[in-house]
Structure 1
């Protein structure tokens, strides 16, 4: 194939290929050859030098081919090879929901390690870029959830922490983010049992623990689902994970605790678990943290924080929430200061600062967040 020998970008050749593929969209031989050519012409360094508008057209035509020939393994693989590109996934404008759906369909159809790896890599990124309504449409489909969980199950049985496991965990984490419907399907498909096993099998593997706890944090945010997490075994695990030397692990474990202790009293009836003990541990561990150098979490919204910030009888819960807000607003002020103000969380923080009986640590940290807002041009009177 001639395109395999090009060493410099050839947008002119791409512009010749796309119309032919679009005109003959139902001819498999043309689509197979075309998708292979498009991959060769956009891969690696060549893709870095091609205008995003051309890459957008490449993606559109590739997705159409994947949609028209869902059972053609080589064509699907060609499409995945093209799409599995950081520049395309992060910088090019295209229908990301359609892409994620087609890639998940591909994951279901073929049982091939390289296909699995590329598909979950693409999904892990796209799931964070589509709307929560769209993630719910994908994540709430049991067939997708079962497939993703089966990939995790296989790697757990093999004791293999490979790139496919990490991408699959990230995809599940992003699909459950602010999506109660996806969280419900995760629980219905026995995902919780599997994830609690992961914490045992891959104990002290911070990368796995962080992703597992990140997803469980999403479940803990959903008030009706908290009871599923409140059991003696998991609470004991949380107490250990709270004191992980890795601040990412400790942070997400603490986030789960902060949400669980806000559950109804009926949820804490099981013998052998004490909400008061967990609260005490939560307060101690948050005070012990030093701010990490890098941003360690991304949020779509701060709405789940409002019930935590207003938990006036549990200052430890407030402390975790304010620490989290201080972390993200100092690490990524441009994104999160605007989000805080847009969602009205800044007013909640100002009320905390003004409350005479609020906990000293909470009030001081809330004041620091308000200072960050003011430094970035968001000023209001207390």
Structure 2
């Protein structure tokens, strides 16, 4: 198995940078402009080193959800070149404006990426030129609109000059748009991807080859998917230092003439003429001749990409003679194939390239033997596919095909280098956030990695990258069911909620909006509500209140209403109640939200229509128990219809004792208030208490419960109600049962929350009847036995340590406290129902 990176925590420097970016007030002043946008300025006298500035900028662009106009305000931090220094400015896919770019024009920028910046216009070109003294790399992808307007400026200057009235033209126009247009004399790398040109003109009188004339030191030129006229090719010859040229997805009409011109670039080491946009390979006439001419004319060529074409030609096979050969003893020997070591790519005979791109080539070129290259992209095996994922990060067409191929490899369990594949998929998805197909196909493979045999090696950084990219993809395509399905199913594989706590509120908010939009209960709807329920489990009251404030109660009630109208009780209905059970646990605000939104009306309707559904009854009664724990809400439960329902459910045997147990808990809390607060005449208080004791006496004290309390405080409060011993009876029975089937957890919890003294008080007081005191004594005995056992374990451990120390032999532990309890346990946190989705169904992952 390949080596994975060590699961190391972030460095202190990185943590400080992250904190500062998330709390910009730590080093900047903040103010609001007249356009209601937020702008930041560096504290006076503060100076930040270059490495820190680059990290601050990178983290902000990668992780902060900045609004469309906020990036300009953030860039304002770097206007002070004495206090800040930036060297790499990647603004790709951002909403930076011309004004925003102008704020950093004096920074010593070495690398600048302005790809897909839709708000930039020709007014930003002077700012790029201002950076030209230090600029070494410039990337302008899909930025044709940036050159709009230059025609008018250039034409006005030309007209003024011809009429000897140059003084009528504003000086700033002459300075800004006079030749050269791109004044970056030290530029080494230029990317003009996806430029839609007309007649080989950028706009107006500015020809593409003029850019080459102004940037003579270029070593790398990328014209991928741009419109390039044949007139451009001769002008490439002025780039004497060019070592890398990409003409990928460029429609070359006259290949003969293009090859003649390309062969003049004698310093060229890398050439890309691949095609990845069409479903089938691009077929050229005389492919073998063309390839031979290219290779012969470029003597230094070591890297060549001809993917998606037929330039690899046919593999030639020699007709073998039937005459037997003879060995050195004169005996006949088996005929050896003369072509055993023959080059399988016609035109590359006698050459050994460092790299050869054969992905999607005609005639299955990548499947051949004796390919004359050390590294090959293609579909024949994992090594070729992995290299394709890494090489075609900037090529959507080929990247999607490579992602499709690796997905099918995962389905056939044929991927061993999962770490490298994971990093390549994450990089591709991050690079192409706005390409739906990349996100869908990438997410499909992430599912197999996240649940695969190497999942334990995934680092925290990688886990967060997976989760963040999936969440962002789902937010970008909220109506794409396949994306939602893949994203939610992959998220369900992780340790929820632990792995998503860093983006907890964001994920909860998205899932709620997704459930609100869903018009039908398809798979993504189902898994979405299960995920939300998991997020409400095993979290503290703060997170539960966040879930409630974002609208979880209202959304769940809406889902339940739709189910009632459809007369359907399924797992979605059950989990909707379970989610409300979870978010109301010891969270009074959410309990009040439930009451205010007519939750009790839905409770009665569901009880009437689906009274035979045990799981539903259990979840609903668990929620009722949470509401009954809130003293301020108990008067709203004191309604004849409600109390009668709770009383009748005492006799329920649905789901074992769970429904009866929860009903008794609700009534115990109602009866814990003074007798005068019992506002209903029927059923009478004493009758209800009598029925409650009868139900408790029927329960099996040794029953194993599918339950997980994290706090005993609501139960312990009932131990002090001596005026109503029936209330104490339910509380003591609950403690005795819990400490009996899970003593290692609940005995410790009882001691921690000072429950021992309360039980001792019950034993010392004459008011509780004998059964209560007997149960209290049993609980105390369980705690004592547990404590004695722990003391014995500690003594044995100390003795073992002494013996080990004497012998000098001991193995180091792994520092873990043991494996977690079964992740799929149904309840958590005071009767919470966690719920989970079976993520082993491969059929649910789609492309």
- 1:207 and 2:610 equivalent? no
- 1:353 and 2:763 equivalent? yes
Residue 219 of structure 1: aligned partner: 627
Shift in Å at residue 55 of structure 1? Answer: 4.2
- 1:282 and 2:692 equivalent? yes
What is the distance in 2 between the residues matched to 1:257 and 1:282? 8
Alpha-carbon displacement from aligned partner over 1:98-137 (angstroms, at most 9, x marks no partner): 3333322322233341232111111222211221111112
8 Å contact 2:725–2:767 — kept in the other structure?
Answer: no
> Gaps (5+ residues) in structure 2?
1-403, 790-847
Shift in Å at residue 232 of structure 1? Answer: 1.4
Residue 185 of structure 1: aligned partner: 593
Judge which range, 130-139 or 253-262, deviates more: 130-139
Judge which range, 300-309 or 54-63, deviates more: 54-63
Correspondence list, 1:284-303, <5 A: 284-291=694-701, 293-303=703-713
Correspondence list, 1:62-211, <5 A: 62-67=470-475, 70=478, 73-85=481-493, 88-89=495-496, 92=499, 94-95=501-502, 97-98=504-505, 99-113=507-521, 114-141=523-550, 143-211=551-619
Shift in Å at residue 26 of structure 1? Answer: 6.1
What is the distance in 1 between the residues matched to 2:464 and 2:786? 35
SS of the aligned residue for 1:89 comes to coil
- 1:2 and 2:412 equivalent? no
- 1:229 and 2:637 equivalent? yes
Change (3 A) 1:101 1:264: farther
Residue 777 of structure 2: aligned partner: 367
The answer to which structure, 1 or 2, has the higher relative contact order (CA under 8 A, 6+ apart) is: 1
Shift in Å at residue 264 of structure 1? Answer: 4.4
Change (3 A) 1:146 1:91: closer
8 Å contact 1:282–1:317 — kept in the other structure?
Answer: no
SS of the aligned residue for 1:311 comes to coil
Residue 240 of structure 1: aligned partner: 648
8 Å contact 1:42–1:50 — kept in the other structure?
Answer: no
- Structure 1 ranges of 4+ moved more than 6 A: none
Change (3 A) 1:307 1:183: same
Correspondence list, 1:9-24, <5 A: 10-22=418-430
What is the distance in 1 between the residues matched to 2:458 and 2:738? 33
What is the distance in 1 between the residues matched to 2:675 and 2:725? 18
**Larger strand fraction of residues:** 2
8 Å contact 1:97–1:130 — kept in the other structure?
Answer: no
SS of the aligned residue for 1:234 comes to helix
Larger Rg: 2
Alpha-carbon displacement from aligned partner over 1:129-165 (angstroms, at most 9, x marks no partner): 2211111121244x43222112112223333221211
- 1:330 and 2:330 equivalent? no
What is the distance in 2 between the residues matched to 1:201 and 1:301? 34
Shift in Å at residue 373 of structure 1? Answer: 1.6
What is the distance in 2 between the residues matched to 1:255 and 1:16? 54
Task: With the length of structure 1 as denominator, give the TM-score of the two structures.
Answer: 0.88
Judge which range, 308-317 or 259-268, deviates more: 259-268
**Larger helix fraction of residues:** 1
Alpha-carbon displacement from aligned partner over 1:179-220 (angstroms, at most 9, x marks no partner): 110011111111111012211111232211111100011000
Correspondence list, 1:240-259, <5 A: 240-245=648-653, 246-259=656-669
Judge which range, 327-336 or 237-246, deviates more: 327-336
> Gaps (5+ residues) in structure 1?
none
Change (3 A) 1:136 1:92: closer
Judge which range, 300-309 or 20-29, deviates more: 20-29
Change (3 A) 1:71 1:116: closer
Change (3 A) 1:96 1:236: farther
Q: Alignment partner for residue 720 of structure 2, among 290, 310, 325?
A: 310
Alpha-carbon displacement from aligned partner over 1:52-102 (angstroms, at most 9, x marks no partner): 7454542243234445555655433321121233x5337857547333333
Change (3 A) 1:299 1:101: farther
Change (3 A) 1:308 1:260: same
Judge which range, 159-168 or 45-54, deviates more: 45-54
What is the distance in 2 between the residues matched to 1:109 and 1:50? 36
Q: Over aligned residue pairs, what C-alpha RMSD do you find?
A: 2.7
Change (3 A) 1:189 1:93: closer
Shift in Å at residue 16 of structure 1? Answer: 2.0
Change (3 A) 1:160 1:47: farther
Residue 263 of structure 1: aligned partner: 673
What is the distance in 2 between the residues matched to 1:176 and 1:158? 26
Q: How many residues align?
A: 376
What is the distance in 2 between the residues matched to 1:329 and 1:26? 54
8 Å contact 1:81–1:118 — kept in the other structure?
Answer: yes
Task: With the length of structure 2 as denominator, give the TM-score of the two structures.
Answer: 0.42
SS of the aligned residue for 1:84 comes to helix
Shift in Å at residue 307 of structure 1? Answer: 2.3
8 Å contact 1:353–1:367 — kept in the other structure?
Answer: yes
Q: Alignment partner for residue 272 of structure 1, among 682, 688, 703?
A: 682
Change (3 A) 1:67 1:296: same
8 Å contact 2:564–2:606 — kept in the other structure?
Answer: yes
8 Å contact 1:73–1:110 — kept in the other structure?
Answer: no
What is the distance in 1 between the residues matched to 2:748 and 2:761? 18
